[in-house]
Amino acid sequence: MSGELTNARKKLSGISSLLKQQKAMAAVQAVYDAVLVILKGGLMKSEREEFQDLLDNTVHILNSDKKLREDYPLIISYVRGEEKELLDTLREILQELQKNVSANAQQMLAAMEKKKRETLEQGQALIEENKVSEAQKLFNKLIREFKDDTELRAEIADKFIKSGLYSEALEYLEQALANDPDAIFLYNRIGIVLRKMKDFEAAEKYYLKALQINNKDEYLYFNTGRLYYDWQKWGKMAQAAEKAVAINPNFAEAEKMLKFALKKIGK
């Protein structure tokens, strides 16, 4: 018990410092922990009176903190011997502070998402103005701010793909894949870009890798078939289309692809 008392004294002595650092939640939690020590019982009369004196002073410090008053406008009351009621109040304050933290976090996420959208639009405008290097600089700066965002790199790549800038798109897709090696959609996207660049062998490697990860995706087989169409590999095209249809018999485009491929190979 002596260790708990020492720790409780230490926590209460640091309340002012925590509030000056604007760490209201940590300060309230420290008081909450100290009150729990008192409620556990086993304190000698002198120890209980000592902690009650400390709590009197601490509650005054909490009530005097302007920032805490903004988050929790009610005055904290404490009467000696009513530590249970104080504990309930402190629990209520902690819950309120947690709500504020969650709300602030949501606001921050919304602001970050807004910035991301606006920057992507600015980059799109630069691409349309044929200011490709400026767009890349803008996108690269955004990526440094959201370094773990794989989807962001893919979105940037899509903007270059739509403008026919395949080598630029490939750069961002390869970055995204390095960031998330298990993202099947990236293998598929890279395969599409390489197909458009007519690098058929490299595209095939990416498609086959994606199919190793997931061989139940009819659209992945269909896109692989598109590669073989451009490459004029009719037998492989038929195999890919056949697998797509086997997975989804209602896949009309894959059915057309299969018929076309079979016609090409004379079946």
Q: Is 66 part of any domain?
A: yes
Domain boundary residue, one of 85, 104, 123 = 104
Per-residue pLDDT reduced to its tens digit, 129-183: 999 999 999 999 999 988 888 889 999 999 999 999 999 999 999 999 998 888 8
Look at residue 23 and tell me if it is in a domain.
yes
Nearest partner of 261 among 243, 242, 245, judged by Cα: 242
Residue 51, domain member (yes or no): yes
* Maximal C-alpha separation, the chain: 100
At 2 the pLDDT is 63
81, 104, 127 - which closes a domain: 104
Distance in angstroms (rounded) separating the CA atoms of residues 145 and 153: 12
Residue 19 counted as domain residue: yes
- Residue 67 predicted with pLDDT over 80: yes
User: Running DSSP on this structure, what letter comes out for residue 175?
Assistant: H
Give the pLDDT mean for 50-55: 87
Mean pLDDT of all residues in 45-57: 86
Alpha carbon 5 to its chain's center = 41
* Interval 185-243: pLDDT, tens: 899 999 999 999 999 999 999 999 999 988 999 999 999 999 999 999 999 999 999 99
Q: What is the pTM of this model?
A: 0.59
In a domain, 52, yes or no: yes
Domain boundary among 55, 83, 104: 104
The whole-angstrom separation of Cα 138 and Cα 228 is: 36
In a domain, 258, yes or no: yes
Distance in angstroms (rounded) separating the CA atoms of residues 29 and 35: 10
- What confidence tens digit (pLDDT) does each residue in 253-264 have? 999 999 999 998
Q: Please indicate, yes or no, if residue 161 is contained in any of the structural domains.
A: no
Domain region containing 17: 2-104
pLDDT at 267: 65
Specify the number of domains making up the chain: 2
In a domain? residue 266: yes
Whole-number pLDDT of residue 179? 86
